[in-house]
């Protein structure tokens, strides 16, 4: 069987699996009801992002269980998140599951060297934090799918230049994201489903595994630049909320993309495409234009991060007052 025929069959299986999930979710009332913090106003099926984990299992069935610990890790993290989508779990339960799952990812990529236990501990904290930022950023139609594609495509292109993971794995993950995109990458209130925590956490673990493989292959941690746009938005928003003395566990819509979609009234598709294009451009420049040396990578990472922070600050100074007006309108009800 040719590789392209395999991909075609896998795409058909993933589409059928997503449609089957929609049927089950509809019957079991697995839905997302809008509230005052939401960026949508229509009841939508939740958990469509389960297809990312299903895609990982389908890939393993076709190409062999080459990464069993990573498969188990994604299944654990996404599984607990799926339960949380249906019935809210304590934060502690989710965090324990995520740390355990990330530990398995580290084992898979060969990072567990106990003579550098402090690096492992720091890596666990950073990666679990990155997973939750990825989850927090899932707030409008298309942003999780679009941004994930903006990470996966450069990873695929970098893998072609020097293999660090099975190429078919990246291709199948892209196929799963494209299937989800068909039902989610749509204007406001027209999405068939949302990713849910099962989707955003699941794809975050998959991306961190792939980037982790690249980092271990090249011994260059700056490949985390592939997640820089989300990282800057997420971290700056956390700092902003701390300055406002807000509880970080409280639901909100203070991210830059949320203000674009809500207060500025921009189309969900347009906002998602902006984030997608920005991350894609940053990653492609790193892959093709920046010399493949750690020092140059660090200079590029710091320079781009500084520009993104500056853009975030300027944007908030200009438009955050609109969100404050929205909050005051809620208090006046």
Percent of the chain at pLDDT > 90 equals 79
Would you give the end-to-end CA distance of the chain in angstroms?
Answer: 63
**What's the mean per-residue pLDDT of the chain?**
92
**What single DSSP character describes residue 193?**
B
pLDDT of residue 116: 75
pLDDT in tens, 182-209: 999 998 878 899 999 999 999 999 999 9
Q: What is the pTM of this model?
A: 0.94
Q: What ranges in the chain are assigned the alpha helix state H?
A: 3-27, 50-63, 68-86, 91-109, 117-136, 143-161, 167-184, 196-218, 228-243, 256-261, 268-288, 294-331
Percent of the chain at pLDDT > 70 equals 96
Binning pLDDT at 50, 70 and 90, where does residue 329 land?
confident
pLDDT of residue 112: 86
Binning pLDDT at 50, 70 and 90, where does residue 12 land?
very high
Four-point Cα dihedral 296, 174, 176, 202, nearest 10: -10
**196-213 as b/e, with b when 16 or more CB fall inside 10 Å?**
bbbbbbbbbbbbbbbbbb
Strands 44-45 and 31-32: antiparallel
67 has a pLDDT exceeding 90: yes
Helix (H) or strand (E) holding 32: strand 31-32
pLDDT of residue 333: 57
106 has a pLDDT exceeding 60: yes
pLDDT of residue 119: 85
37 has a pLDDT exceeding 60: no
Helix (H) or strand (E) holding 45: strand 44-45
Higher pLDDT, 29 or 315: 315
98 closest CA partner among 66, 119, 127: 127
212 has a pLDDT exceeding 70: yes
274 has a pLDDT exceeding 70: yes
Beta bridge partners of 193: 45
d(C-alpha 101, C-alpha 22), whole Å: 27
Give, in order, the Cα–Cα distances in Å from 141 to each of 114, 239, 272, 287.
Answer: 42, 25, 7, 28
Q: Is 113 exposed, middle or buried (0-12, 13-18, 19+ CB in 10 A)?
A: exposed
Contact present, 39 and 253 (Cβ < 8 Å): yes
Handedness of CA 203, 205, 211, 217 (dihedral sign): negative
pLDDT in tens, 142-180: 999 999 999 999 999 999 999 999 999 999 999 999 999
pLDDT in tens, 236-261: 999 999 998 888 777 788 899 999 99
pLDDT of residue 190: 86
Handedness of CA 211, 217, 219, 222 (dihedral sign): negative
Range 17-22 average pLDDT: 96
253 closest CA partner among 117, 85, 119, 136: 136
Q: In sequence order, what are the residues at sequence separation of 6 or more whose Cβ sits closer than 8 angstroms to the Cβ of residue 255?
A: 136, 137, 139, 233, 234, 237
Contact present, 238 and 129 (Cβ < 8 Å): no
pLDDT of residue 44: 84
């Amino acid at each position: 069987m040719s590789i392209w025929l395999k991909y075609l069959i896998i795409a058909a299986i993933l589409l059928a699996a997503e449609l089957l999930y929609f049927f089950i979710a509809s019957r079991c009332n697995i839905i997302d009801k809008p509230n005052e913090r939401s960026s949508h106003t229509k009841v939508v099926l939740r958990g469509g992002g389960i297809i990312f984990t299903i895609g990982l299992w389908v890939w393993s069935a076709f190409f062999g269980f080459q990464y069993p610990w990573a498969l188990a890790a994604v299944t654990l993290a996404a599984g607990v998140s799926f339960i949380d989508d249906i019935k809210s779990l304590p934060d502690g339960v989710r965090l324990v599951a995520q740390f355990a799952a990330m530990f398995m990812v580290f084992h898979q990529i060969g990072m567990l060297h106990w003579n550098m236990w402090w690096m492992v501990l720091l890596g666990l904290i950073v990666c679990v934090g990155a997973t939750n930022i990825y989850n927090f950023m899932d707030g409008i139609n298309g942003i999780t799918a679009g941004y994930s594609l903006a990470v996966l495509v450069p990873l695929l292109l970098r893998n072609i230049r020097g293999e660090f993971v099975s190429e078919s794995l990246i291709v199948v993950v892209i196929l799963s994201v494209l299937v989800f995109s068909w039902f989610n990458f749509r204007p406001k209130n027209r999405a068939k489903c949302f990713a849910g925590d099962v989707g955003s956490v699941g794809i975050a673990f998959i991306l961190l595994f792939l980037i982790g493989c690249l980092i271990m292959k090249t011994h260059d941690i700056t490949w985390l630049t592939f997640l820089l746009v989300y990282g800057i938005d997420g971290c700056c928003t956390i700092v902003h909320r701390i300055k406002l003395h807000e509880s970080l566990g409280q639901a909100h819509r203070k991210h830059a993309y949320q203000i674009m979609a809500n207060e500025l009234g921009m189309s969900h598709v347009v906002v998602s495409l902006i984030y997608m294009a920005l991350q894609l451009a940053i990653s492609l420049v790193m892959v093709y234009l920046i010399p493949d040396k750690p020092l140059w990578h660090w200079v590029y990472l710091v320079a781009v991060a500084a520009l993104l922070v500056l853009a975030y600050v300027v944007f908030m100074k200009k438009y955050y007052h609109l969100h404050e007006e929205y909050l005051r309108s809620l208090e006046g009800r």
